[in-house]
Structure 1
Amino acid sequence: MNDHSRSDQAQSERPLIELEGITKVFGTGPAAFQALKGVDMTIERGQFVAIMGPSGSGKSTTMNILGCLDVPTAGIFRFRGVEVQALNRDQRSLLRRRYLGFVFQGFNLLSRTTALENVELPLLYRGEKKSLRREAAMHALDQVGLAPWASHTPSELSGGQQQRVAIARALVSGPNVLLADEPTGNLDSERSVEIMELLGKLNDDGITIIMVTHEEEMASFAKTIVHFRDGLVDRTEAGARRMEDTR
């Protein structure tokens, strides 16, 4: 086995994500606020993790760090064995584009463009050829069951369909991890269950999913539920999908 193969094997044997003693302080002096106080968390490949906690518990700050949108004040954040806190801004941006997909509560779709064009956007920014963009975007829409609606604009789609387009946009670049921030927050209960079932299917297909939610019913779709309180992990429990796996 050559050195490169050993390196790949060692990387694959490590957890996908490791947080060790992560702290985050906003502001300085008397106005400083410590949002995270030493978070330890490990996420394996293929996990579906729901992060819960009251407002101000640190869950959103943790999600921003996991998404390489912010950096910790102290501690170690490893992604695929690489210490992310040691990367510069451009390197973090590259990691984000190559490995991460994002889904938000507000859909964030361009109102005057079609579903297909919305899904294409990440590849357009990457400079991919039009034919390759179209093929990848149609495949992503097909993954979420919306290929027949490719030519529709967001105003012609339901809220659940719009969130499916947003998920397809997150999938189009082939991420290892899907980060979902309150993905059902703007949906009714029936549409929420549809989106959670879709995320479960994507997880079954091998995508690691990390989701912030305040809804216990939605969190139950995950394999692991991590509860935050006062800037720390308070407790971790098995979700319904993990319990199904062990039956």
Structure 2
Amino acid sequence: MAAELIVRLQGLTKVFGEGAGRVEALRGVSLDIDAGDFVAIMGPSGSGKSTCMNIVGCLDAPTGGHYLFRDVDVGALSQDQSALLRRHYLGFIFQGYNLLPRTSAVENVELPLIYRQVGAKDRRDLAMKALFDVGLKGWEHHKPNELSGGQQQRVATARAIVTEPALLLADEPTGNLDTARSHEIMELLTGLNRTKGITIVMVTHEPDMARYARRIVQFKDGLIEANDIVEKAA
């Protein structure tokens, strides 16, 4: 049975500025991502990888081409509809964690559920389970300044998965971590991909982190230069 196609990019272009300041960030990017895939996006600064990620995350719109999410043309959606897509189907992990500093881990994880108007008891139960899933049982009531960088990124990951997103977008998720903590986070993401079937698209500049993915897509000068299956050790 053919895999479900979750993301299809068709000839995406993105232009910033005009005249002498005009920059073509994307110059005709086409890419398919199946449900359950784990894709690492790499490329030098200015290659277009972050621009592409922002479009997939409905944080920006392309200048040309099409972005289809489960066969829905995202470019045809209103701002409200795009916001609903983001809220109900996408999860985000950022390099900087983006946790509320005066708020406990469990309260940080509850935030996306508040936007969904989930009741207080169900919200707390789901947040506690998400923290358990990322290995933070016993740390639920600690604030970010009482957690290590790796633990803060685990809280951010729990917040991203508590809504059971169809697609998880991770932007340099190990960028602020040391080597040991980086591998811990990548093992966590790999496990979520494998056991929960969450589709993951991750931007990274670290080749050893990219190798945790199933595919590595290389960007250069606004185009896809390579799209390779990662060969895993036996």
| Superposition TM-score, scaled by structure 1 size | 0.91
2:98 partner amino acid = N
What residue in structure 2 maps to residue 186 of structure 1?
A: 176
Q: Which deviates more, 21-30 or 136-145?
A: 21-30
1:86 aligns with 2:76: yes
1:231 aligns with 2:219: no
Q: Deviations over 1:7-45 (max 9, x none)?
A: xx9xx9651100010000011233221100000101001
1:97 aligns with 2:87: yes
Q: Deviations over 1:186-230 (max 9, x none)?
A: 000000000000000000020000000000000010000000000
**C-alpha contact (below 8 Å) 2:3/2:35 kept by paired residues:** no
1:199 aligns with 2:189: yes
**Which of these residues, 22, 25, 43, is aligned with residue 15 of structure 2?**
25
In structure 2, distance between residues paired with 1:176 and 1:116: 22
In structure 2, distance between residues paired with 1:189 and 1:124: 34
In structure 2, distance between residues paired with 1:13 and 1:116: 35
1:234 partner amino acid = E
RMSD of Structure 2 on Structure 1 (CA): 1.4
**C-alpha contact (below 8 Å) 2:100/2:108 kept by paired residues:** yes
What residue in structure 1 maps to residue 205 of structure 2?
A: 214
Check 1:203–1:37 CA distance in 2 against 1; reply closer, same or farther (3 A cut). same
Q: Deviations over 1:151-184 (max 9, x none)?
A: 1111111110000000000011110111000000
Deviation at 1:239, TM superposition (A): 1.9
In structure 1, distance between residues paired with 2:89 and 2:224: 25
Q: Secondary structure at the match of 1:149?
A: coil
In structure 1, distance between residues paired with 2:18 and 2:120: 47
What residue in structure 2 maps to residue 132 of structure 1?
A: 122
**C-alpha contact (below 8 Å) 1:14/1:81 kept by paired residues:** no
Q: Deviations over 1:73-108 (max 9, x none)?
A: 000111001001111111111000010000000001
**C-alpha contact (below 8 Å) 1:50/1:226 kept by paired residues:** yes
Check 1:13–1:161 CA distance in 2 against 1; reply closer, same or farther (3 A cut). closer
What residue in structure 2 maps to residue 6 of structure 1?
A: none
Check 1:108–1:86 CA distance in 2 against 1; reply closer, same or farther (3 A cut). same
Q: Which is richer in helix?
A: 1
1:39 partner amino acid = V
Q: Which runs of 5+ in 2 are unaligned?
A: none
**Which of these residues, 91, 102, 114, is aligned with residue 104 of structure 2?**
114
In structure 1, distance between residues paired with 2:3 and 2:69: 12
What residue in structure 2 maps to residue 4 of structure 1?
A: none
**C-alpha contact (below 8 Å) 1:49/1:225 kept by paired residues:** yes
Q: Which runs of 5+ in 1 are unaligned?
A: 1-8
Q: Secondary structure at the match of 1:108?
A: coil
| Superposition TM-score, scaled by structure 2 size | 0.96
In structure 2, distance between residues paired with 1:237 and 1:53: 14
What residue in structure 2 maps to residue 74 of structure 1?
A: 64
Equivalent residues, number: 233
Q: Secondary structure at the match of 1:145?
A: coil
1:209 partner amino acid = I
**C-alpha contact (below 8 Å) 2:4/2:35 kept by paired residues:** no
In structure 2, distance between residues paired with 1:31 and 1:60: 19
Runs of 4+ in 1 over 6 A off after TM superposition: none
